[in-house]
Amino acid sequence: MFSEKANKIFQDVINTYHVLNTVDQPFTNIYNKETNVLEHLLYRKCWIDTVQWHYEDIIRDPQIDPVAALALKRQIDASNQDRTDMVEYIDSYFLEKNKNVSVKENATINTESPAWGVDRLSILALKVYHMQEEATRSNATDAHKAACQKKLDILLEQRVDLSTAIDTLLKDIENGDKYMKVYKQMKMYNDDELNPVLRSQK
């Protein structure tokens, strides 16, 4: 099943990141983009999410230097763009894979494309990892660990449900019961022509 593969890759990414556990570490994709296209995309996607997760931790430091915070905000903006781009690459993969499927007359469209479901699955893997850390943290109180374990149980159940939903959607697309219609993200704030502040500085 697709979700089994994706969840394993996401776990591998998160474990690899936490060996050095720094946002400044170099990135190496262990999957060849020519021979393992989907795996390559999933690995890169989760790496972006993992680094951004830690950017978000850092920028919430109340003692952060304002200049450093602004620089980090720019990095988060760039990371968000990379994240969106990767979602579109993954959807393009599924569109290509299913381009010859005969769509049934009564086929319906889903509320989100497969890759946006994958996006949520990647973020969920990070939530599971870090909630597990909190549920087992040696210097935390028993009450804290118990509360985090309850949350972890819910996250694990959510991962099963989301994984099942994604696998079902992909199967429905392959069978022609659902069809994909992907809208490119029309972000305006990074565009020199669409953001009035940037346009005024040209």
Tens digit of pLDDT for each residue in 110-163? 999 999 999 999 999 999 999 999 999 999 999 999 999 999 999 999 999 999
- For residue 174, being part of any structural domain is answered with yes
Rg of the chain (C-alpha set): 19
Could you list the residue range(s) of the whole structural domain that residue 76 is in? 2-191
Q: How much is the pTM?
A: 0.91
- C-alpha–C-alpha distance, residues 178 and 183, integer Å: 16
- For residue 30, being part of any structural domain is answered with yes
- C-alpha–C-alpha distance, residues 98 and 83, integer Å: 23
- For residue 200, being part of any structural domain is answered with no
Tens digit of pLDDT for each residue in 16-75? 999 999 999 999 999 999 999 999 999 999 999 999 999 999 999 999 999 999 999 999
Q: Please tell me the total count of domains within the chain.
A: 1
Q: Nearest-CA neighbor of 95 among 21, 173, 43? A: 173
